[in-house]
Structure 1
Amino acid sequence: MRIQPTTLAPDLYRRLVELHMAVDKQAVEAGVERSLLELVRIRASQLNGCAFCVDMHTTAAVEAGETPRRLHALSVWAGTPFFSDRERAALALAESVTLLSERRVSEEVYQRAEEEFDKDQLAHLIWAITVVNAFNRLAVTAELQPQ
């Protein structure tokens, strides 16, 4: 059994949760759809191999109105007709931010996101992707399992 950084440093974990909640609230207020936030969180979590976060955000996505068909196809979103241009731009950005060590966020990916989101929405979307990546790294390192 690995140590659990979230329980051994509870103040830091609480602050990360508070940041997540603030990003979520402000992103929605800025006009980023809750279901879209969950899609990018799931996709980043899939790429990071975080079963705990995939489970949690898939549940949240269903609560936000996502359909099983789209959720099942999310790992291959680029090859399906199920996602809007806005969603595709957000998913491409989520993949690029999540995979920074493999490739940078290209100008093409960034420009597509700028075309679909205003500056405020884009800033909040980047924060949402960044925060879920932080959670992924904690959960994967600690080998957290879905409940």
Structure 2
Amino acid sequence: MNTAPRLPWHQLAPQAYKAMAGVNAALAGSGLGKKLIDLVQLRVSQINGCAYCVDMHARDLLAQGEDMQRINSLQTWHEVSFFDARERAALQWAESLTQVAATHAPDADFEQLRSHFDEREIAELSVVVAMMNAWNRMGVGMRNQVMRMPLQAVA
């Protein structure tokens, strides 16, 4: 497979790039919490096969002190007990929205959110998922490159 970068899209469309980054910055201040946002972003990126974003969000989680076993098990979160009910509801919603053509975002997935998130948080979580899907499409489509780097030691 040819993995050479296609276009420096962030340089060619700087206003769009800044707008996308601005949405992410706005979401960073939400009540969702950075760790949950990164878990969701990592899971969406796994589904979409965006190597660049998978690497970035796994590193972000490690830097926040996230457990390596949880990061490794995120792809199989349905099968392990490492994620709490709030995280599971968010991950299920993330999967439903990311695969919306197949799932049609079922009511059961939405109702599961209501037990753990208020309406504002549900809206913010939905925007996190939508934005991550947009970033993944640019990352995969433009072949963003993953640079080989050693893992940072976690204190």
Deviation at 1:64, TM superposition (A): 2.3
Unaligned segments of structure 2, at least 5 residues: 148-155
Match of 2:26 among 22, 26, 33: 22
Unaligned segments of structure 1, at least 5 residues: none
Aligned residues: CA RMSD: 1.1
Query: What whole-Å deviation, never above 9, does each CA across 1:18-77 have from its counterpart, x for those lacking one?
Result: 11111112x2xxx21211110000000000000101111111112223110000000000
> Is contact 1:2-1:143 (8 Å) kept?
yes
Q: Secondary structure at the match of 1:65?
A: coil
Counterpart of 1:74 in structure 2 is: 74
Counterpart of 1:101 in structure 2 is: 101
Deviation at 1:82, TM superposition (A): 0.4
Mapping of residues 131-146 of structure 1, within 5 Å: 131-146=131-146
**Pair member with larger Rg:** 2
Give the helix-richer structure, 1 or 2. 1
- Tell me the distance in 2 between the aligned counterparts of 1:82 and 1:103: 25
Paired AA for residue 114 in structure 1: R
Give the total of aligned pairs. 143
Mapping of residues 99-138 of structure 1, within 5 Å: 99-138=99-138
TM, length-normalised to structure 1: 0.93
- Tell me the distance in 2 between the aligned counterparts of 1:51 and 1:33: 24
Paired AA for residue 46 in structure 1: Q
Paired AA for residue 64 in structure 2: A
- Tell me the distance in 2 between the aligned counterparts of 1:24 and 1:130: 15
